[in-house]
Chains A and B, each alone.
Chain A
Amino acid sequence: MGASLAVASDYRYRGVSLSDERPVVSLDLAGDFANGVYLGASALGVWTAHSGFRALGLQEYAGYARRLNSDLTGDIGLTNANYTDAYAGRAATRNQEVYVGLSGHGITGRLFYSPNYFNFGYPTLYGELNGVVRPGPGWRLNGHVGVLTRVGGDRAEERTNVDWRLGVAKELRALTLEAAVTGTNSDEDHDRARENHAVVVALSWAF
């Protein structure tokens, strides 16, 4: 088992701030087993603008990953996330997804399916591509692009949201410092107008 504690200047989920652009802290517990099974949980807290520090949400996940050959790894799993009314949507909600992924040569592609995305009443598919390069010892450059689309419900309101992120991280022993620019074409931030791109800084400590 492993754990990490992280603080970040914002909590952006697929380009959208769930923390109302407020700083967050997260505690992560993870178990990665040699047979490929993994599970974990993440507890989030947010420094709100008017109510001090509050719990933001709890996220659990479980999955199974397997090396398909020396280059490719397959991954399948499910996630469950519960958010309190401290999140940007102002009402407690949840999101459950199943996912399947394929990774190799520093590139990962995944497809997520949610039967009821954030209780909005429609299912979604989210596809993402992530890439990582290591330009030097302890350094990591991350790139991400994702596309969220409805696959059911009221098709009249159908729209496709794209989010992206570019980040640089420096690992120093058990500490990781990361800065990222992230954004989305979504003009909807849970019924509130928000900036659609941001610079986020995060520091995590694994223990």
Chain B
Amino acid sequence: MTSAPRPAVGLLLALALALGALAAPASGNPAPAPDPHRQVLVLVRLPPAHYRPGAGYSEGYGDALARKQRQRVAERIARSNRLTLVEDWPMPLIGLDCFVMEVPDDRSPEMVAQLLARDPGVEWSEPMRLYHGKANARSHNDPLFLAEPTANAWRLADLHRLATGKDVLVAVIDSAIDRGHPDLAGQVAVSQDFTTGPPRGAEQHGTAVAGIIAARADNGLGIVGVAPQARLMALRACRQMTPGASGSPTICDSLTLAKAITFAVEGRAQVINLSLAGPPSPLLGKLLTLATARGTSVVGAYDQALPGGGFPASQPGVIAVADETLARAPAGVYIAPGRDVPTTELGGRWSLVSGSSYAAAQVSGLMALARERRRTTGGRLLLVSAKPGGGTVNACATVLAAAERCGCDCVFGREKVAKNRP
């Protein structure tokens, strides 16, 4: 049996109800967020915990009494130094009570901390410091993003703070792109088929290349393209020999390519991706010379099995790109991530791909970022690499160079940054 309710208990309950009102934040405008740059930490010796018999329920009330005393000390310190008490945090482990105080604008926190250290009641004081996590500052919510080689090598999420390729027109001259893929939905601005024969559905190679260049970002699905806000021109000039068969060769011919390049130039594509290689063609060469003369960035896949890396990589003015398997990049050949790249796959899926086709696609996306930074339509863009005339691409320096800012803003390892014209 317990004590019977009494009038004083009712009084207590009424007081308890009043607690809510007392504890509720004051109405009106919220206080401005404290600025840590204007704060100092004030460390005050914390009296040891001890017995306090005054209240019948010891260990209970004592906390509030001790806290109130410490607060009074802090208020005195704050008042005598014209500071504002923000909060406190007792640290029994080191026997100190840490008070946070805000410093007025007319004094520096460093100066105030030195002044406070002379107070006999203060153990020491120090300005509030900020520390930064060393993980990538930004990321995307696309689950395969961190598996993309460029997420780390190019710090793609950081690059996307500079540019996303917004509204840059990228022509993907390839096999048919799966426009209905959830990571590509809405990314294709123009679609044209230059091949002969009955129309087919989407194909593997073109879909993979398109995903690397412009897969949607932050849709919670799959991957992130290098230029996720670029607009694609899906120009089908190639066909997969065996539709639906994984690894089936993709073949193009001079005429379909010529038609597609012409269409891209006339359609004012700002970047043309050619993830293919073959023998030189005067016709295609002439068209590409025209395209580059107009300031279009043309990117071609480098094939080390073909003389000069094959055409169009060997064409002057075309950015020749190989993947990391190329042991020593010849002059004028750039290296970009092209091994085990997650990208879009037929049937709304994703898979890993490898090859210089995909390294070229990475660079096409990068050039789209650079083009966004260079708002004027004319003028060639520079591809910045570790050594003059080729080598590993420095993505950040490339984007910053497009904005005509110093490449030294990029801190990517210790590589020496050089600017080169492709």
B130 at the interface (CB under 8 A from A): no
> B197: CB under 8 A from chain A?
no
- In A39-64, which residues have CB < 8 Å from any B CB? 40-42, 47, 59, 61, 63
Query: Which residues in window 87-102 of B have CB below 8 A to A?
Result: 93-95
B64 and A195: CB pair below 8 A?
A: no
Asked if residues B68 and A34 are in contact (CB atoms below 8 Å), the reply is no
Instruction: Decide: A13 and B48 in contact? CB cutoff 8 A.
Output: no
Task: Report whether A61 and B55 are in contact in the complex, using a CB–CB cutoff of 8 Å.
Answer: no
Select the stretch in A18-26, A83-91, A150-158, A185-193 that faces chain B.
Answer: A18-26
Which label, helix, strand, loop or mixed, suits the secondary structure of the A interface? strand
Q: Does A177 contact B (CB under 8 A)?
A: yes
B8-49 interface code vs A (CB 8 A; 1 in, 0 out):
110111011001001100000000000000000000111111
B52 at the interface (CB under 8 A from A): yes
- B54 & A28 in contact (Cβ 8 Å cutoff): yes
Given the complex of chains A and B, what is the CA–CA distance between A203 and B55 in angstroms?
11
The reply to whether A30 and B3 contact each other, CB–CB distance below 8 Å, is no
- A148 interfacial contact with B, CB 8 Å: no
Which B residue's beta carbon lies closest to that of A14? B56
Which of these, A32, A67, A130, A177, contacts B58 with CB under 8 Å?
Answer: A130
A2-B57 contact, Cβ under 8 Å, with A22-B6, A177-B19: no
Interface residue count on the A side (C-beta < 8 Å): 75
Contact with B along A73-111 (1 / 0, CB 8 A): 101010101000000000000000001010100001010
Assembled-state Cα–Cα distance A202/B281 (Å): 94
Specify which of B47, B51, B54, B72 is in contact with A77 (CB 8 Å cutoff). B51
Contacts of B94 in A (CB 8 A): 70
A186 to chain B minimum Cβ distance, whole angstroms, is 16
Residues of B within 8 A of A171 (CB): 63-64
Query: Which among A34, A59, A180, A203 is the interface contact of B47 at CB below 8 angstroms?
Result: A34
A143 (CB) vs chain B CBs: closest residue: B59
With both beta carbons as reference points, the residue of chain A lying nearest to B121 in the complex is identified as A34
Residues of chain B contacted by A99 (CB below 8 angstroms): 51
Q: Do the beta carbons of A73 and B50 come within 8 Å of each other?
A: yes
Would you give the shortest CB distance from A133 to chain B, in whole angstroms?
11
Contact B49 A73 (CB under 8 A): yes
* CB neighbours of A65 from chain B (8 A): 47-50
CB distance from B18 to the nearest CB of A (A): 9
Given A7-B12, A32-B50, A175-B22, A42 and B68 touching (CB < 8 A)? Answer: no
Cβ B95 vs Cβ A67 within 8 A: yes
Partner of B59, one of A11, A24, A34, A132: A132
Which of A12, A77, A108, A203 is close to B15, meaning CB atoms less than 8 Å apart? A203
Q: Is the CB of A38 within 8 A of B65?
A: no
A149 in contact (CB, < 8 A): no
Asked whether, in the complex, the Cβ of A203 is within 8 Å of the Cβ of B93, the reply is no
Question: For the complex, is B53 an interface residue (Cβ under 8 Å from A)?
Answer: yes
A63 adjacent to B2 (CB under 8 Å)? no
Given A34-B47, A140-B60, A176-B60; A59-B3 close (CB under 8 Å): no
The answer to whether B8 and A23 touch across the interface, beta carbons within 8 angstroms, is yes
Cβ A173 vs Cβ B61 within 8 A: no
**Does A32 contact B23, Cβ atoms closer than 8 Å?**
no
* Chain A residue contacts of B16, Cβ below 8 A: 177, 201, 203
Query: Which residues of the partner chain B approach A42 to less than 8 Å between Cβ atoms?
Result: 53-55
Q: Are A174 and B59 in contact (CB under 8 A)?
A: no
8 A Cβ contacts from B214-255 to A: none
- Return B382 CB to nearest CB of chain A, in Å: 55
Judge whether A167 and B60 touch: CB under 8 Å. yes
Tell whether, in the assembled complex, residue A174 and residue B68 are in contact, meaning their CB atoms are under 8 Å apart.
yes
Known pairs A101-B51, A140-B63; A180 contacts B22 (CB<8 A): no
- 12 residue pairs from A and B, CB less than 8 Å apart: A2-B68, A30-B54, A38-B52, A42-B54, A61-B53, A63-B51, A65-B47, A167-B60, A195-B1, A198-B3, A201-B13, A206-B67
Contacts from B to A (Cβ < 8 Å): 1-3, 6-9, 11-13, 15-16, 19, 22-23, 44-61, 63-69, 72, 93-95, 121
**Known pairs A22-B8, A23-B12 / 12 extra A-B pairs, C-beta < 8 Å:** A4-B65, A7-B8, A8-B57, A32-B50, A36-B47, A38-B47, A75-B49, A142-B59, A170-B19, A201-B9, A203-B12, A206-B64
6 closest Cβ pairs, A-B complex: A23-B8, A42-B54, A65-B48, A65-B50, A2-B69, A28-B54
